[in-house]
Amino acid sequence: MSSKQQSHQRVFVVTGANKGIGYEVVKKLSTNHPNDLILLGSRDQKRGEEALVQLGSPTNVKVFVLDTSSKKSIEQAKEELQNKYGGHLDVLINNAGIVINDSSLKALKDTFDTNFYGVKYMNDTMSPILRDNGRIVNVSSGIAAMTMKECSQDLKTKFLDPNLTDSQLEQLFAGLFKAVEEGKDPATVGFNPVKRSVSDDYFLLYYGTSKLGVNTLTRIEARDWEKKYSAKNVIISAVCPGFCATDINGNAQGGRSAELGADSILHAVYTENLENGQFWRDGSQLPLESK
């Protein structure tokens, strides 16, 4: 790849792309952008290569080893972008996410390391090399707005504060971590699990809170972009792909296809004049708190 090709070629990074929704996003991008570069993010080289073969080994897709729960891995990924792929980025899709069916402190930490901090570290690291007219899509979930609804009024007010900073956002989660560490009910610090007919599942509270963090972070990042970075006309969005039948939920019955989830994400990549910092599903704006 010549330096001239590199400078004109658009570069897309999709995390968590060796299966599920991320795989479908890469599949669509590889078809839509035959002359651009699509980097298929995978924590594991072998699984990434297997996904590439499954795609038919298109020449515009490369395996991009990346563990978003690791700062070191993210920094190494940036170095690879700079050394091998022209040193710029046009579209970043933060798709990697996990659900852990466990209420332990470790489960909470692991969930946040990938779902929230992974997004924050990716954006902090990659934003300086994003080019004009770039897009960042932070994949979220409808349960984020449901989790917001169940929070105490005091927490809601803080999450929705238009002047909230990213460091203040992180501090809002400290109470949840402390409560879990001390064996206390998270409700005592304002975090209530989404109520389901069968039970109050605290692992869903962990997942939902991490995605609530993503939605709030998206708003903060969009608001502060011009203060921090030089690239112009960058749009940052949070997107709900819908409840899709994928490995993350054991291919749950009644879920829609990963392909439809990918379409929801790509609305935020392709739609012109999209309102910055908002939460979307299938091209329609969603509230940060469920009704």
Catalytic residues: 207
- Could you tell me if 205 and 191 are in contact, meaning their C-beta atoms sit under 8 angstroms apart? yes
**What are the backbone dihedrals phi and psi of residue 287, each rounded to the nearest 5 degrees, phi first?**
-75, 155
Measured distance CA(249)–CA(242) in Å, rounded: 12
| Sheet-wide strand order for 279-281 | 61-65, 37-42, 11-14, 89-94, 130-139, 235-239, 279-281, 284-286
What letter does residue 248 receive in the DSSP assignment?
G
Q: Which token pair is 266?
A: 């790509």
For residue 35, what are the CA distances in angstroms to 11, 131, 266? 10, 17, 18
- Could you tell me if 100 and 111 are in contact, meaning their C-beta atoms sit under 8 angstroms apart? yes
